[in-house]
Amino acid sequence: MCGICGFVLKTTHSKQASLDDLNAMLKRLEFRGPDERGIFENSPTYLGMQRLSIIDRENGKQPLIDEISGVSLVYNGELYNYLELRKTLEKLGHRFRTDSDTEVILKAYLQYDSKCVDYFNGMYAFCLWDPRINSLYMARDHLGQKPFYYINTNKLFAFASDIRSLLAHSLINEKINQSQIKSYLQNRHVPGPNTLVSSIYQLPPGHHANYSDAKGINQRPYWQFQFKPNTNLHLDEFKDKFNALWPEVIKRHLVSEVPLGGFLSGGIDSSLIAIEAAKQSSSFSTFSIGFKDKNFDETAYAQQVANKIGCPHTVIQFEDSFENLLNAWSRAYDQPLSDPAVFPTLSLARESRKQITVALAGDGADELFAGYQRYYSMLIAKNIRKIPAPLRALLSYLFAIKAKLFLSHSAPRRWLTAVSRRLKLMQNNPELEYMSQFHLFNHNELKQILKSQSPPLTYENQFTQNHIVHNMLQHDANHWLPDQMLVKTDRATMAYSLELRLPFLDRQMIELATELPVNLLINKSKLKYGLRQIASLHLPKSISLRAKHGFAVPIDSWIREDSSFVRDLYAQACVENQDIFNPGILKIYWDQHIKRTHNHGEKLLTLLLFFLWRKEHRL
């Protein structure tokens, strides 16, 4: 695991200036790979990497250069099937001088050219310089677990694992991408392939690309997530397939020369990982985050699983000031991503890194196996639509009023608020209704707070499956997962040089998930039905039947309790950002929240993170 960067010059730039730029870019990546720095220079091409040593720590240095062809590679990630692929390549005549997965990627490219990605199972972002054709070849893993940003100007083509690394280059002087501010405020993230910096883009998940001065950049998909449900697949057959595959998946994810453990929430996903990992590794340990407020704390469930499998378990108490949490966020994220769950994730990563270098987690299972309540809500919405619109509006209002009778972070209030919002969002177009669930600010609110007006955001038709559940899952795997969830976890863990591995996003697990018919995803009101049936064989009902909880964070009260610090920060930022926002409207949001007439916690957080990011980057 590491951070990578590089560039190809198109203009006159001295060797020393270029090396200074490369080192400046690498400096911004040290937290992703603190163990070692590597540089390749063959003007006009420069490649660099910061390494976090996990496999073949002694010989797995980068950039890795093939002695015969001169092809050079920088690579970030883990190739889980590298041992099997290495055997195949050896039979084809390739000889290896290291035991690293890095060399397997290099040899696979030499053997298969751009078709090499068809053979890869892992999380990765890499770039190869091929001097035989004066071209870069780049690729990003299937669902975008690892980041890859690039910029193509009249002075250079450059790439990096972090936007801040690109901005460190003296020939890159870009401005804020104003067209994406609305997208960020509405979605809480910047939808790929765009970023909040003009001219900087992301290589989309499941894509690869070539760059040369003669032809520019040519990117294209090599893989796309798509459901191909097998309607003849029954529960017992699914169980057999999963149980045959799961031990091998975990085995691949346990390969490491450094201490390895797992994040254990007490939910079925992380518990299934921990149970199998503990069987295969006697040194496997688990970590969970604890909250003082029992409405948020799940450590009893996590401890129950840890006791069952007999592994060492550490509970990390989540206790920090909002100011410290915002500073940690600024360290981790290269562009705004607003999700209150980032804060406990950062704390979990920071404290667990004191004992382990690699962590396994259950992220991705909800998007593949239907674990979110919104899937069931959409499934039954067709019945609720039969209620006349005026009556739905009244019910929404009444639920919202009743919600205010409970504490802001209590389960009843969250449920009532969710039902009220669901009734308010309902419309005749299922796709637009589903998309609107993700929106934090609606179009009218954006018109009020933003000085520059533009038409409402539109969406292309993405619902191509026959069933609404498959459509939702397909959307989430292609958008919500890579743009929100994987950004959250990758940046939070790599901020502390902790490698995070996600067994449910193993390529074979993804392929199994795409076979599932709806009745194995949602059965009556039971979410993640097929996976829960498997979990019920290994876990007590208190866990296998428990509803998804997630990292619920009391952001509303945080902002009120730390109001003096946040107020000063917010007030100053409103002045500094008058070129974009209407400060009077922003003040109304603040006043309403502090006076408790409205809960604007997530909206205020989303604005605050944008302000912090813009100030740090001086954009």
Tokens of 320: 């920090």
In terms of domains, do 197 and 291 share one?
Answer: no
Spell out the residues 6+ positions from residue 50 whose beta carbon is closer than 8 angstroms to its own. Answer: 2, 3, 4, 26, 29, 30, 32, 33, 34, 36, 37
Same domain, 216 and 315: no
411: in domain: no
Residue 548 has pLDDT above 80, yes or no: no
Q: Are residues 34 and 99 in the same domain?
A: yes
pLDDT of residue 388: 85
Identify whether 406 is part of a domain.
Answer: no
Whether residue 15 is found in the same domain as residue 156: yes
Decide if 136 is inside a domain. yes
| 512-539 pLDDT tens trace | 999 999 999 999 889 999 999 999 988 8
Max mean pLDDT among 5-14, 52-61, 294-303 falls in: 5-14
Q: Answer whether residue 248 shows pLDDT above 90.
A: yes
Whole-prediction pTM: 0.93
Q: Could you tell me if residue 92 is inside a domain?
A: yes
Pair 326, 203 in one domain: no
User: Are residues 162 and 262 both part of a single domain?
Assistant: no
Do residues 417 and 438 lie in contact, with contact meaning Cβ atoms separated by under 8 Å?
Answer: no
pLDDT digits (tens, 9 = 90+) for 388-431: 888 888 888 888 888 888 876 677 877 788 788 778 777 778 88
* Whether 500 and 618 share a structural domain: no
Q: Is residue 452 part of a domain?
A: no
Would residue 213 count as lying in a domain?
yes
Last residue of a domain, one of 512, 544, 576: 544
**Whether residue 549 has pLDDT greater than 70:** no
Tens-digit pLDDT profile for residues 176-199? 999 999 999 999 999 999 999 999
CATH classification of the domain holding 157: 3.60.20.10
Dump pLDDT digits (tens) for 106-153. 999 999 999 999 999 999 999 999 999 999 999 999 999 999 999 999
Q: What is the DSSP letter of 95?
A: -
Domain of 298: which CATH number?
3.40.50.620
The residues, any chain, with a CB within 8 Å of residue 110's CB and separated by 6 or more, are: 66, 69, 71, 94
Distance CA 363, CA 341 (A): 13
Question: Which residue range forms the structural domain that includes residue 609?
Answer: 554-619
Residue 151's pLDDT is 98
Asked whether residue 139 falls in the same domain as residue 278, the answer is no
Is 376 inside any structural domain?
no
C-alpha closest to that of 192 among 490, 479, 486, 489: 479
| 296 and 217 fall within a common domain | no
Model confidence at 312, in pLDDT bands (50, 70, 90)?
very high
Task: Looking at the structure, tell me whether residues 8 and 107 fall in a common domain.
Answer: yes
Given phi > 0 = left and psi -120 to 50 = alpha, else beta, which region is 181?
alpha
Report the pLDDT value the prediction gives residue 393, as an integer from 0 to 100: 84
| Average of per-residue pLDDT values in the chain | 91
User: Do 330 and 616 form a contact (C-beta atoms < 8 A)?
Assistant: yes
564 and 600 within one domain = yes
Number of structural domains the chain divides into: 3
Residue 522 lies in a domain: yes
Say yes or no: 205 and 243 in one domain. no
- Cα(68)–Cα(373) distance, integer angstroms: 55
Look at residue 408 in the predicted model and tell me its pLDDT: 62
